[in-house]
Structure 1
Amino acid sequence: MTDTMEEVLEMRRMWKKSDDARDAGLPREVPGVRRIDDLSYGPDPKWHLLDLYLPENVEGKIPVIINVHGGGYCYGTKETYQFYGLNLAAHGFAFVNPNYRLAPEVVFPGELDDVDRYMHWVSDHTDEYGLDRNNVFIAGDSAGGQMAEQYIAILTNAEYRSLFGYEPVDLKFRAAALNSGAFFLLDPGMIAGKLDAYFPKDIVEKDRRRISAEDYITEDFLPCYLSTANEDFLHDQTIKLAGFLTARGVEHVCRSYGDKDNPQPHVFLMNQKDETARQCNEDEVEFFRKHMG
């Protein structure tokens, strides 16, 4: 565990340095958006916190995007995702921006337990913050894209939900955006490197049924916008999921952004200074709007 933790800490330092450079100079306050920071959704005082960004120009109840952040199951905080969330809030959606516990402090399915915990928090607080429980959307990228996919399968398949013991959530989920997701985790080479901090070998051997979310995707799965990029190292997993959803009769859009003259990396859409990233954000918002009830 000591060696693993040292490797994870070094990875966190490197990735945070890169993310901080990407986001340098971006404003923490956006006109027309009210932010409420550090709301508690569970017992852990450090990790069970979320920020809520509320657009001020919406009449009536506010449609909601609930985020599941990425970071290889070992990295990421709501602070890293604040600029992405503020942008989506400026488009007229409440944005729920949570932390969750990270590996190796927790192993599968501990992070998914936190996702379930904050989904129920949203359900319990819709009236307090003027949220529209009938128009809720899920967004996730990288590891968060995989967990968002997995949680949608749990929401839409009672058999799969029973394997986790989760209670149904009193929210009407309309659609999802899954970005550069780590889908099909049991494919060769997927659970490798730092990922085994969250998926140790003994967990994978005994819990393959719960890990393999794709086995439980049915035609009731949410409509999805799938994004990837020409230099996304998980590009092929998104294309594979698109084909899989086609076979299951699930509505979806799949788009790869960037080309040789304008290359785009893994989870490029978080870069709020980049025109292509902003276009992807707008494309996904428009997809959500088309699926509002």
Structure 2
Amino acid sequence: MVKLLFKIKADKMRKEWAKNDAIRDKDNVLPESVEVIKDISYGRHGKWNLLDVNRPKSYNGKLPCIVSFHGGGWFYGDKELYRFYAADLAARGFAVINFNYRLCPENAFPSHIEDCNAALTWLCNNAAGFDIDLNRLFFVGDSAGANLVYHYSTLLTNPDFAKLYDFEVPQIKPKAVGLNCGTYNLDEQIKDDMILKAYIQNQKKYAEHIKVQKYVNENFPAVYIMSAPNDFLRAEVEPMIEFFKTKNIPVTSKIYGTKEDPDACHVFHVNLKLAIAKECNDDECNYFKSFC
């Protein structure tokens, strides 16, 4: 029943959000300095398992790499909505992987995590052909995408957590991750949230799988966590900062813009027309470069 009810709601929200995102991206153009290799298949789920590789047209040696996990509440979005953002990051000197994953309620947990793992497995197997340096690997994600970054990074850095899943994770670890306007500890929120119930449809079976905080350890990558005053997930930042500190995980944070600025809102950094988006994306990429 939750799946059926949410499907009706999700279809309406998808149309509304797509209209707003089209307005956001109107007149955007891809940087001339970036090439995009599009629609590479990384898995067996058709259009939902396609990715793009963005990289500068001119570079020397191997490139550091950012993998972008798109947002959209686990039920909305694809790589096309992040194409300008991914190319914008690539113009700063990175290879950027921008990938689709299956969405709920049509595909429930752990489908999203399985697709993240398939995309990263593809990257490990194909990095050399795209001049990508896996020793300089970074993740970014916003909103639900930030949750996927948090979840998947924990899988890569705690074998006990990875044992809960029936797939093998690649032997890689990002140097640092960007958690942007995100939500994190779903086990504390699911009982009152229809979206989470549509995402994690078998709560009994996967009760342990969503207790990510329990499995985060000191091996988790360094964190850049950000938000904005009018982000509806703004309150999640400080508790996560304190949590990472208790695990001795390096954490840097910043809140962008002012309460009086309506553009200082949820996932503002994807709106490339905004000055605070440029500031944020510069800051985050410079943070990543400090690990290169």
Name the TM-score, length of structure 1 as normaliser.
Answer: 0.95
Matches within 5 A, 1:208-227: 208-227=207-226
The answer to whether structure 1 residue 180 and structure 2 residue 181 are counterparts is: yes
Alpha-carbon offset, residue 169 of structure 1: 1.6
| Cα distance in structure 1, aligned partners of 2:288 and 2:237 | 19
Q: Percent identity between the aligned chains?
A: 35
Alpha-carbon offset, residue 2 of structure 1: 3.6
Instruction: Indicate if the aligned counterparts of 2:156 and 2:171 stay in contact, CA closer than 8 A.
Output: no
| 2:167 corresponding residue in structure 1 | 166
Question: What number of residue pairs does the alignment pair up?
Answer: 289
- CA RMSD in angstroms, aligned pairs only: 1.4
Q: Which runs of 4+ in 1 moved over 6 A?
A: none
Structure 2 unaligned spans of 5+: none
Instruction: Indicate if the aligned counterparts of 2:179 and 2:225 stay in contact, CA closer than 8 A.
Output: yes
| Cα distance in structure 2, aligned partners of 1:204 and 1:183 | 17
Give the residue type in structure 1 aligned to 2:287: F
**Distance of aligned partners of 1:217 and 1:172 in 2 relative to their CA distance in 1, 3 Å threshold:** closer
Cα displacement string for residues 147-190 of structure 1 (whole angstroms, at most 9, x for unaligned residues): 10011111110100111133232435211101111111122467
User: After alignment, is 135-144 or 183-192 more displaced?
Assistant: 183-192
| 1:49 corresponding residue in structure 2 | 50
The answer to whether structure 1 residue 121 and structure 2 residue 122 are counterparts is: yes
| Cα distance in structure 2, aligned partners of 1:156 and 1:115 | 15
3-state SS of 2:136 partner: strand
Instruction: Indicate if the aligned counterparts of 2:200 and 2:206 stay in contact, CA closer than 8 A.
Output: no
Alpha-carbon offset, residue 262 of structure 1: 2.5
| 2:76 corresponding residue in structure 1 | 75
Alpha-carbon offset, residue 288 of structure 1: 0.2
Give the residue type in structure 2 aligned to 1:215: K
Structure 1 unaligned spans of 5+: none
Instruction: Indicate if the aligned counterparts of 1:225 and 1:254 stay in contact, CA closer than 8 A.
Output: yes
Instruction: Indicate if the aligned counterparts of 1:191 and 1:199 stay in contact, CA closer than 8 A.
Output: no
3-state SS of 2:259 partner: coil
Matches within 5 A, 1:6-85: 6-27=8-29, 29-85=30-86
Instruction: Indicate if the aligned counterparts of 2:178 and 2:223 stay in contact, CA closer than 8 A.
Output: yes
| 2:236 corresponding residue in structure 1 | 237
Name the TM-score, length of structure 2 as normaliser.
Answer: 0.95
Alpha-carbon offset, residue 96 of structure 1: 0.3
